[in-house]
Amino acid sequence: MSIINQSRLSDLIHQKEGPLTRELLLSPGGFGLGKVPEKNTPDAMTQMVCGFCGTGCNLNIHLKDGEGVCVTPTTEYPVNLGMACPKGWEALSVLKSPDRAISPLIKKSHNHWEPVDWDTALNLFTRKFKGIQQQYGTDSVAFLSTGQMVTEEMAFLGALAKFGMGMLHGDGNTRQCMASAVTAYKQSFGFDAPPFTYQDLEESDVLVFVGANPCIAHPIMWERVMRNSHDPEIVVVDPRKTETAMQATQHLQIYPKSDLTLFYGIARILIEGGYLAEDFIQNHTEGFEEFAAHVRDYTIERVANETGLSRAAIEHFAEIIHSGKRVSFWWTMGVNQSYQGVRTAQSLINLALMTGNIGRAGTGPNSITGQCNAMGSRLFSNTTNLLGGHDFLNAEHRSKVAETLSIPVDRIPTENSWPYHKIIEGILAGKIKGLWVICTNPAHSWINQRQVRDILNRLDFLVVQDMYHTTETARHADLVLPAAAWGEKEGTFINAERRISRVKRVTRAPGQALSDFSIFKLIAQYWGCADMFSQWKSPEDVFQMMKQLTKGQPCDISGIEDYAAIEEQGGIQWPFPESNTKPLEQQRRLFEDGQFYHQNGRAKMIFSEPTKMPEAPNEQYPFILLTGRGTASQWHTQTRTKNSDVLRKLYPARIYVELNPQDASELSIKPNDKIFVESQRGRIKARAFITQSVQPGQIFIPMHYEQTNQLTDAVFDPYSSQPSYKCCAVRVLRN
């Protein structure tokens, strides 16, 4: 035997690195666990909501010496019923990453930051931002927040920035995922009000998923569909044959962005057939006659021509809706992230209204939320609306908020903030000189990525407050503030079905990292406005103020006593006013009485002509780029999920492009070939994945990879200002 082979054999027998044998021994875990390593044997257990997506699953957190060591899904929670996706199982592991920000960092030179103490960091924060405001005006500093902090921190940030620091402009990354649904609900119903409960996924006999792939994006919601005992029809409207489309009873593989035409055409068929809930239309809606006149032009020939669907498929879809007793319409980013996302969402709302599929079990026009606390952001971040779903432009609302918070009413802006893209444009125009980015990563996620990175570099001062110091945005920061993560602080999330759930501190934040709540308290002190926030002592104190802010609003939660009540009830859906005298039900829908939030109590049927694709394919760029979620194991920009060894193994590390076999053959591209994808904005290198999932002339790239948004086009919905990530013109080249 050679000396080398002897050495290898010796290494196998006598392992010099890794865990000791006794550390690999398994012992009974208790608390519902099987056998676990001794170091992870818990001595206690608590529960809290997951911190990834807007589904809002509850997790059992198994504790040892007061620290979370492992998780299991909560069996009795009304959201996930004992299920968890890969991200939930790995929720604790991403907290232990070496990429964690453990001290404030000040940029000293290109690609070089030095750690400092909090006093130095906050003195710099205050001096720089105040200096910018003194030179250029208070509106020259803005903030970008998130749908991933606890609600109480969002409220504190929005109040501190706008009431304490005098900022006018601030928006959140919920602009990227939910703005079109929010605007559609506000215009149609009078308030941002998703009407459903997850139980509807089990009660529908017809489920229509539009631009939604819950098998991948919301797997626990898909598990609820699999529990449906009514043998439902499942219709998927999507240009790509997604994992969800493969499970559908009918897949309508439409031409990209032809969905608005399709739904107007379906409305025409239903109207002509008399397949309407006439009493509901007459008593609870307005604008139906105008809508009916509008859709007369959407003949089946026009719809077939524009969507690429057969006449038979269109008629069959209309018949399924007509014959269904409990029809629910579900959509996500395929609708929202569009240059006409609001009107497309409202076309689904109109279908639900005209057929009476709202306010009953198994029905509804239902937008599926992306981020874990997007709903909290929509109501309490003080960005697109005043705290508690109020209006900055309404003097009565401003007075109510000022009185509730015991602040001067003149500290509340009387104007709306610029939306996200206007803030970015404001930096480019030299109107925004300082930016505070909290728990979000625009240098990865924002559309036309190369441009936004260039724009961030033009700022006089950029502060990034995050749990990791390695995010793409943190690499541009002048100051990095280390923040605690989910599981390291207290508060609440609000999920897609309006359920308020608890977040708890189950482990210590590393190094000098602080909760965002504590950071905001310190900034208020250093800024000189701490007296304004003297009542904001703890997250639960803020929750009590949130209750008062919502009184009389559609989202009234004044009847929730405290955090303990939320836990005892398995989460509580809004609304839950203190005047409520009924026993609390775990599943509650909106509009059961047919009353909406407009002054006349009616829902509005809103519509307009479809607009042309802003960047249609052409001779030079003949393909349409589609983007979306590519796996259940990664999340958004992978900021957290890439820090899990397990989750990284469940997904290709290298970026890939889905390409139809016909196109691949014409371009002489084989599976796994390295190819280039180019748009007018950028060029990326990727591997080819040949698949029938995409139609000829279209390609798909998952959104999780850093390079993807180098290609996307900065086009926005005119009503919601949401970016249109889902289609732009590209070309594919062999390497």
pLDDT higher than threshold 70 for residue 447:
yes
pLDDT higher than threshold 80 for residue 28:
no
Q: Say what the pLDDT of residue 585 is.
A: 86
Task: Name the domain boundary from 91, 119, 141.
Answer: 91
* Residue 138 domain-assigned (yes or no): yes
Residues 447 and 506 in one domain: yes
Residue pair 284/189 in contact (Cβ under 8 Å)? The answer is: no
Give burial (CB, 10 Å; 0-12/13-18/19+) of 308: middle
pLDDT-derived band at 38 (thresholds 50, 70, 90) equals confident
Q: Say what the pLDDT of residue 730 is.
A: 98
Classified as helix, coil or strand, 733 is strand
* Residue 327 domain-assigned (yes or no): yes
| Model confidence pLDDT, tens digit, residues 495-553 | 999 999 999 999 999 999 999 999 999 999 999 999 999 999 999 999 999 999 999 99
Query: What is the domain extent for residue 642?
Result: 623-734
Closest CA to 503 of 167, 176, 194, 58: 58
Q: Say what the pLDDT of residue 155 is.
A: 98
Classified as helix, coil or strand, 373 is coil
* Residue 423 domain-assigned (yes or no): yes
Whole-angstrom distance, CA of residue 558 vs CA of residue 588:
17
Quote the pTM value: 0.94
In this structure, of 199-203, 323-327, 632-636, 643-647, the range with the lowest mean pLDDT score is 632-636
Residue pair 367/496 in contact (Cβ under 8 Å)? The answer is: yes
Q: Tokens for 566?
A: 């939320």
Strand 285-286 and strand 327-331: pairing? unpaired
Q: Say what the pLDDT of residue 728 is.
A: 96
Closest CA to 91 of 376, 567, 507: 507
pLDDT-derived band at 10 (thresholds 50, 70, 90) equals low
Q: Tokens for 100?
A: 């964690």
DSSP 695-707: -TTEEEEETTSTT
CATH number for the domain including 346?
3.40.228.10
* Residue 288 domain-assigned (yes or no): yes
CATH number for the domain including 543?
3.40.50.740
Residues 431 and 567 in one domain: yes
Whole-angstrom distance, CA of residue 147 vs CA of residue 379:
11
Q: Say what the pLDDT of residue 637 is.
A: 85
Residues 526 and 675 in one domain: no
> Which strands form 572-573's sheet, in the order they lie side by side?
488-494, 499-505, 572-573
pLDDT-derived band at 636 (thresholds 50, 70, 90) equals confident
Classified as helix, coil or strand, 92 is coil
* Residue 522 domain-assigned (yes or no): yes
pLDDT higher than threshold 90 for residue 2:
no
Residues 400 and 532 in one domain: yes
Mean pLDDT value across residues 85-92: 95
Residues 390 and 539 in one domain: yes
- How far CA 217 is from CA of 212, 213, 447, 498, in Å, comes to 8, 6, 20, 19
The amino acid at residue 253 is Q
* Residue 100 domain-assigned (yes or no): no
Residues 702 and 567 in one domain: no
- How far CA 613 is from CA of 175, 533, 727, in Å, comes to 21, 48, 8
Q: Say what the pLDDT of residue 245 is.
A: 97
Whole-angstrom distance, CA of residue 213 vs CA of residue 49:
22
Residues 34 and 128 in one domain: no
| Greater model confidence, 572 or 638 | 572
Task: Name the domain boundary from 366, 396, 426.
Answer: 366
Q: Average pLDDT, whole number, for the chain?
A: 94
The amino acid at residue 588 is R
Q: Say what the pLDDT of residue 18 is.
A: 66
Q: Say what the pLDDT of residue 21 is.
A: 63
Q: How many domains does the chain have?
A: 4
pLDDT-derived band at 6 (thresholds 50, 70, 90) equals low
φ, ψ for residue 482, nearest 5 deg:
-80, 125
CATH number for the domain including 81?
2.20.25.90
Find the DSSP H helices in 190-277: 200-203, 214-217, 219-226, 259-272
Q: Say what the pLDDT of residue 147 is.
A: 92
* Residue 590 domain-assigned (yes or no): no
Residues 565 and 515 in one domain: yes
* Residue 185 domain-assigned (yes or no): no
Task: Name the domain boundary from 313, 346, 366.
Answer: 366
Of the chain, the percentage scoring pLDDT greater than 70 comes to 97
Give burial (CB, 10 Å; 0-12/13-18/19+) of 402: middle
Residues 461 and 552 in one domain: yes
φ, ψ for residue 483, nearest 5 deg:
-115, 145
Residues 86 and 109 in one domain: no
pLDDT higher than threshold 70 for residue 14:
no
Mean pLDDT value across residues 678-689: 97
pLDDT-derived band at 5 (thresholds 50, 70, 90) equals low
Residue pair 446/419 in contact (Cβ under 8 Å)? The answer is: no
CATH number for the domain including 646?
2.40.40.20
Going 489 to 495 to 500 to 502, the CA torsion angle's sign is negative
Residues 69 and 166 in one domain: no
pLDDT-derived band at 168 (thresholds 50, 70, 90) equals very high
Whole-angstrom distance, CA of residue 148 vs CA of residue 493:
8
Per-residue DSSP letter, 714: -
pLDDT-derived band at 275 (thresholds 50, 70, 90) equals very high
Residues 263 and 380 in one domain: no
Whole-angstrom distance, CA of residue 506 vs CA of residue 402:
35
Q: Tokens for 682?
A: 């950028």
| Model confidence pLDDT, tens digit, residues 125-146 | 999 999 999 999 999 999 999 9
pLDDT higher than threshold 80 for residue 17:
no
| Model confidence pLDDT, tens digit, residues 192-214 | 999 999 999 999 999 999 999 99
pLDDT higher than threshold 60 for residue 1:
no
